[in-house]
Amino acid sequence: MWSWVYLVTVLLACGWFAEPAAANVVGSDYHNFNPSLSTVDVTTVHTGKTLGRGRLGLGLFLDNAINTLPYFNLENEDNRDVEKSYNDSVTSLELQAIYGITDIWDIAIAAPYVVYQSLKDEQQPHGYFKRLGNTEIRLSTKVHLIQLGIYDAALVGIANYNRVEDNPYTGNVSWPAQSLELAQTLSFGLVQWSVNLGYRWREGTSDENLKDEENLPIDPFNDQILASTALVLDLPVTDLDVIGEIYGSYARQDVSSFSPRNPSVLEDTLGVRYPLPYNLQWHAGIGTEMRHAVASSDFRVYTGLRWVVDTRRPAVPAAAAAPAPVAPALPPAPAIPVSERSPDAMFELDDIYFKFDSTELRVAAGYRVMELLAQALRERPIDRVVIEGHACSLGSDAYNMDLSDRRANSVEHWLIVNNGVPPEKLVTVAWGERHPKFSNAQESTRMLNRRVTFKIFYSPRTAQSPQAPARLNH
């Protein structure tokens, strides 16, 4: 928890002490492209899943949008805004942090910045940033509501603290917008479909002095209805996800009759995401406007990185209690069958991960870990070793059950052939996708569920020996 507090403090300081942006027409809403919360979400669309207790995520997104700034009508002159030639370019950077308070509750913070602007024509009246800098502090929270098979639903709340000076779209308030969205997700094996529906409450009173000084016929935004959807297709051979998104908002009233831009927004993006080492996730894509609207771009290109780590310390299992001594005069107690005993030791070998649809280990280090396991098994007599195979959620339940069974059997065969473990001491169990260790929502965490775990039962005559460690160090 303290790591989350520290990061929030740093991120707030970066935003708060950074120079705020200033604009004559555009502000925190200039952009429309707002990256979502974490690795369990899509690019801008939220899923119905949460990050998980104690998990910390950081994000960094860079976006360049072409022709997002509005041009205003002049008498007897065509509006440059509708010509579709190059007018302007605005580049923004966004820093994010998210933390899983519980398994069903995440909190997040984001600080977007305008870092570059290029203007082609400065003669016709148009919007622009008078000063680059931090545009807002955005606070978010997500609460998971329900999971029914392939369906997940969550509530997402967002509050925006405006830091753009002279912003006619937000008026004279610091907290111009608060929104609430219902995020729903259906997962069909290789395909994931998410839909967000919500409402944004907006406040603000028009600044007449700003209108007079800048000669800008713009009123603050009113309330908006929000909607977005995303389709994610997992390409198994490459571990690459292809993402298509549509997002927009419906404004209840116009903000300017002197601009050809509609107050209701509709944009689309097409992108990819790919898992990288060290729990990183890479995003990249392009986008266009589907409606010529306020702050919509003729063309945009974006890229970003997300990173997630589990901040919880692994639990240290309590040592097994030694059996009570048996009086010499009494006959020895009968041995308890393995099926009725708790394991004397459990090993979670994090490097025994498999490639998609394969019994082949994903990393060569996994074989070294298995050698360490075999060595530990030879150090003392054992009654039984239960090898449990697991799979991710891609594919049908029956297929994943068969795949996890084949993985457990392949490890069993490896221990017998390469390490001389007696086959009568080994038992395999297939769990399929029933016991995931991490979220199956993203490939960067989904691949961690393709694993094998071990339960070791020592011989009764060595039961008083020191307990084996719960995790092998390697």
CATH number at residue 418: 3.30.1330.60
For residue 372, tell me if it sits in a domain.
yes
Q: Would you state the pLDDT for residue 112?
A: 92
For residue 474, tell me if it sits in a domain.
no
CA distances to 110, 198, 284 from 272, rounded to whole Å, are: 22, 26, 6
SS3 15: helix
Q: Would you state the pLDDT for residue 186?
A: 93
Domain match, 138 and 236 both? yes
Domain match, 31 and 159 both? yes
Averaged pLDDT for residues 219-227: 85
Domain match, 113 and 247 both? yes
In 3-state terms the chain splits into helix, strand, coil percentages (rounded to 5) of 15, 40, 40
Cα angle: 400, vertex 402, 408; to 5 degrees? 100
SS3 416: helix
Provide the token pair at 234.
């997992």
Cβ neighbours, 10 Å, residue 396: 11
What does the mean pLDDT of the chain come to?
Answer: 78
Averaged pLDDT for residues 222-242: 88
For residue 331, tell me if it sits in a domain.
no
For residue 216, tell me if it sits in a domain.
yes
pLDDT digits (tens, 9 = 90+) for 357-389: 556 666 566 666 677 777 777 777 777 888 888
For residue 332, tell me if it sits in a domain.
no
Q: Which residue has the higher pLDDT, 356 or 469?
A: 356
Q: Which residue has the higher pLDDT, 446 or 434?
A: 434
Q: Is the pTM of this model over 0.85?
A: no
CATH number at residue 252: 2.40.160.40
pLDDT for 51 beyond 70: yes
Domain match, 282 and 222 both? yes
* Domain tally, the chain: 2
Q: Would you state the pLDDT for residue 469?
A: 40
Domain match, 284 and 390 both? no
Averaged pLDDT for residues 349-357: 58
Highest mean pLDDT among 52-56, 187-191, 288-292: 288-292
Provide the token pair at 271.
């992108």
pLDDT for 308 beyond 60: yes
SS3 352: strand
CA 212 to chain centre: 45
Domain match, 351 and 440 both? yes
Give the domain extent around 180. Answer: 2-310
Domain match, 290 and 346 both? no
Q: Would you state the pLDDT for residue 330?
A: 42
Judge contact between 178 and 160, C-beta under 8 A: yes
Contacts of residue 246, Cβ cutoff 8 Å, sequence gap at least 6: 228, 229, 230, 266, 267, 268, 290
Domain match, 241 and 354 both? no
Confidence of residue 178 (pLDDT cuts 50, 70, 90): very high
pLDDT digits (tens, 9 = 90+) for 435-474: 888 877 766 677 778 888 888 787 775 544 444 444 443 3
Domain match, 258 and 387 both? no
Confidence of residue 16 (pLDDT cuts 50, 70, 90): low
Domain match, 436 and 292 both? no
Domain match, 359 and 453 both? yes
For residue 184, tell me if it sits in a domain.
yes
Judge contact between 163 and 135, C-beta under 8 A: yes
Domain match, 33 and 135 both? yes
Q: Would you state the pLDDT for residue 357?
A: 57
